[in-house]
Amino acid sequence: MERETAILVGAAIGTSGLEDAEFSLDELEALADTAGADTADRMVQRIDRPHPATYLGKGKAREVVETAAVLEADMVIFDDELTPAQGRNLEEIAGVNPLADKQLKIIDRTGLILDIFAQHARSAEGKLQVELAQLNYRLPRLRGWGDVLSRLGAGIGTRGPGESALEAERRSILRRIERVKRDLLDLERTRRIKRQQRQRTGVPVIALVGYTNAGKSTLLKHLTDAGVLIQDQLFSTLDPTTRKLSLPHDRTVLLTDTVGFVQKLPHQLVEAFRSTLEEVKEANLLLHVVDANRDIERQIAAVQQVLTEIGALDIPAVIALNKSDLLSDEDMERLQGRHRDAVLISAHKGYGIEGLLGRLDAELSRLKVEVTLDIPFDRGDLVARVHDEGEVLKESYSERGTHLVARVRRESLTDLGDFMAAPVE
């Protein structure tokens, strides 16, 4: 497939610095490359706030379009989500440019990410989730953004086939959204049942989270020999993959890889992938993989923003600074000083993996405590709860009731305190 060319446009808004805008454009350039477009030029403008009609000022918007025409670019990609009105007005400016001999496409960051997700979705659930996000993104943009449907003027005497086509398309999209939601709900029920079955086994779950292209899939493959796709591209993995992992002290856990995050991850995607991201929310521990060669603080902040949105920020986490084999000794020492709790690893070379496994084992041990319980037969609900939420190491019966030796979460001790036969440290 022939690659297209693009002009990238960013804005340093308000107190946001040019450095932040350039970092975001670096990410946008990587996104464009993943989608199949080469960057012909980058433009950044400092503005107090986005212009309600054209995002940038009209003069700057015309300058962007003229630059695109001179460089024979196929599209202009804006580093923010454009409103329907902004997109429509920018397309009109692009359409009347006398230097252009072809229609210049106007794309925003959200549309670009949705396109990448559509390319990389493999499973039935992944395809449905992407379709739902695309439909929700397209619905408010029907009236005017794009040349797919004709637009007629407003007022008496102007209603006609154009408006009918728009309304028919709108109803069609709404019907499709409802159908996709129903299909996703069925798949979500299946995922929930599987998740409950895993929880009943008492096997802890560790979820891999991190910035896209930080090396999560490479780490999963190294740790579990999983047959997962590994590419030097953003969002190469969308569908969750779960594999068994053996930790020190003969502890077996389940390791789940999930979709990567970026700055300004579209809200439509977070909503559409909410059932998949539930895998993160239900994990006992997070393994947060960070690319040690990129801006670490920005990566961590972007991931924490999504974790907050799905209600998973309070889950304990271990930070693994990946690709540390590419660092100089000086940079490695500096990182160890700034991120004392992090583990430096190289998923590609295998560096630091043993230390990481030991750290994961230690963190899981802190999450649960071993207790001895004597529970009366009339409190079978507590026995069931220990089986569901904990790890039962030994179970026997006497005249007094059920005798359990189990590892349970510390927060469960309040309800179990009356039945403990041994003190907890």
Domain membership of residue 190 (yes or no) is no
Report the share of the chain in percent with pLDDT over 70.
Answer: 86
Domain membership of residue 137 (yes or no) is yes
Whether residues 345 and 207 share a domain: the answer is yes
Whether residues 296 and 405 share a domain: the answer is no
Whether residues 263 and 300 share a domain: the answer is yes
Domain membership of residue 75 (yes or no) is yes
Do residues 210 and 216 lie in contact, with contact meaning Cβ atoms separated by under 8 Å? yes
Amino acid occupying residue 40: A
Read off the tokens for 378: 């009339």
Residue 54 pLDDT grade (very low, low, confident, very high; cuts 50, 70, 90): very high
Report the share of the chain in percent with pLDDT over 90.
Answer: 34
Residues 118-171 pLDDT 10s: 887 777 888 888 899 899 999 888 765 444 444 444 444 444 455 567 788 888
Residues 269-289 pLDDT 10s: 777 777 667 778 888 899 999
Whether residues 114 and 154 share a domain: the answer is no
Which residues does 367 contact at the CB level (< 8 Å), separation at least 6? 204, 284, 285, 316, 409, 410
241, β-bridge pairs: 257
Domain membership of residue 192 (yes or no) is no
Query: Residue 367: is its pLDDT beyond 90?
Result: no
The pLDDT of residue 152: 47
Burial 145-183 (b: 16+ CB within 10 A, else e): beeebeeeeeeeeeeeeebebbeeebeebeeebeebeee
Asked which of 118, 145, 174 is the last residue of a domain, the reply is 118
Domain membership of residue 392 (yes or no) is yes
Residues 58-82 pLDDT 10s: 999 999 999 999 999 999 999 999 9
3-state DSSP assignment of residue 84: helix
Range among 104-113, 366-375, 401-410 with highest mean pLDDT value? 104-113
User: Average pLDDT of 166-192?
Assistant: 88
Domain hosting 110: range is 4-118
Give the DSSP letter string of 100-163. Answer: -SSPPEEEEHHHHHHHHHHHH--SHHHHHHHHHHHHHHHGGGTTTSSSSS----SSTT--SHHH
Residues 371-380 pLDDT 10s: 899 999 999 9
Where would I find the H helices in 145-233?
Answer: 161-201, 216-224
Whether residues 251 and 311 share a domain: the answer is yes
Whether residues 221 and 282 share a domain: the answer is yes
- Domain count of the fold of the chain: 4
**CA gap 131, 118 in Å, rounded:** 8
Least confident of 170-179, 240-249, 337-346, 353-362: 240-249
Local structure of residue 49 (DSSP, 8 states)? S
Whether residues 319 and 402 share a domain: the answer is no
Asked which of 310, 325, 351 is the last residue of a domain, the reply is 351
Least confident of 218-227, 331-340, 414-423: 414-423
**CA gap 61, 52 in Å, rounded:** 13
The pLDDT of residue 200: 64
Q: How far is CA 306 from CA 28, 104, 258, 317, 417, in A?
A: 18, 33, 13, 14, 36
The pLDDT of residue 202: 63
